[in-house]
Structure 1
Amino acid sequence: MQSEYLIIEQVYAAKESMQAADELIRAYLPFIRSETSKFFSRPCTEQDDEFSIAMIAFHEAIRGYEKNRGAFFTYASMIIRSRLIDYQRKESRHYGHLSLDEKKDEDGKTLMDTIASDDTVDDFVSLEATKQEIEELASVMKEYGIGFSDVSENSPKQERTLEACKKAIQFAVDNKQILDELLRTKKLPLARLVEGSGADRKTLERHRKYILAMLLIQTNGYEIIRGHLRHLLKTKGGNLA
């Protein structure tokens, strides 16, 4: 693993940027998988719900970490373990070995009726919804010849470049016919984006895959993903719709 000084630097950068946070999470997926596997004493795959919970816990560790808490990975391991314990307890308490259709009380309510309003179900539904959005977006992006790794590699690294891309994205969001054209032709209308946003064409061309992914997120109700990205796409005078 990298030096602790560099890790701390990366964590603090990830606190300010969702893109940096995503990159940090992606870089340490083996660590997250290892911690999850150690906790459950069995191999963990990226398809396991527990792995998703551990990823969320790692992001929580990024947001909550301060230098006075000691080594970041020790802190992250503690947060992951804590969230997995919470998950294990909730699973045991609410599901156990009981049938969801078993009558639970004198009113004839089943266990499913009882847990339907429980916070655990809300958490589970939220987690499943997020996974479904990511899977759907990945499928749509594939039709356009891009993947999440392409987006990461093409993401703007400088503030000035990011601002130019944000202007182009905002212009497209404010002019829905551009999004319609994108879906219809499966091509990024660069000329219209340049003309409407005033951004430099070469800049937009260099980050075409990033802009394309951001616009696809705006087209099909990816509310959860948009919520995570919205702070990166803010413009002066308002937010993306």
Structure 2
Amino acid sequence: MSNIKDEIEEYKKLLKEYKISFNDLTRFCPKDRETRKTAIRIATNIADNKFLAANVINKKQLPLKELKKNFSTCYNIITNYRKYIIAITLLFIKDFSSLRSYIL
């Protein structure tokens, strides 16, 4: 149980660097199941791509131009749920495995 508490605290600190709070996540989480699945798919693709992941880590934002090229059909989802996608991407990049099982 302390492992999950440690992960939550570390994740909270990491999100703060990106100016994202847990309240933001509840506000900006897609309500529609398909939209949420698409946002998670985008986040996993970002985390799997070294260039895109490094861009998120270094610039603290989504690389919109590159994402528009790769996910042109989902561009509205990317812009509308930017904070949610960043938060999920960080779950995969930083490997918060215990926390990931609760959130996803």
Sort the TM-score into its range (normalised by shorter chain).
0.7 to 0.9
Q: Which residue of 7, 19, 38 maps to 1:145? A: 19
- Tell me the residue number matched to 2:43: 169
- Following TM superposition, the consecutive aligned residue runs of length 4 or more in structure 1 with deviations greater than 3 angstroms are none
Tell me which of 63, 85, 93 is aligned to 1:211: 85
* 1:155-213 residue CA offsets vs partner (Å, 9 max, x unmatched): 01113322331331132132122111111111111222232234422221111111010
Q: Which has the higher contact order (CA 8 A, sep 6+)?
A: 2
Between the aligned partners of 1:228 and 1:201, the Cα distance in structure 2 is 27
1:16-165 correspondence runs (5 A): 127-165=1-39
Number of equivalenced pairs: 104
Identity %: 29
Over the aligned positions, Cα root-mean-square deviation in angstroms equals 1.7
Instruction: Say which SS state the counterpart of residue 218 (structure 1) adopts.
Output: helix
Gaps of 5+ in 2: none
- Cα shift at 1:217: 1.1
Displacement of 1:228 in angstroms is: 2.4
Question: 3-state SS of the aligned residue for 1:168?
Answer: helix
User: What is the rounded CA distance, in whole Å, between the counterparts of 2:70 and 2:33 in structure 1?
Assistant: 20
Quick one: which amino acid aligns to residue 145 of structure 1?
K
5+ long unaligned stretches in structure 1: 1-126, 233-241
Please give the secondary structure, in 1, of the residue aligned with 2:93.
coil
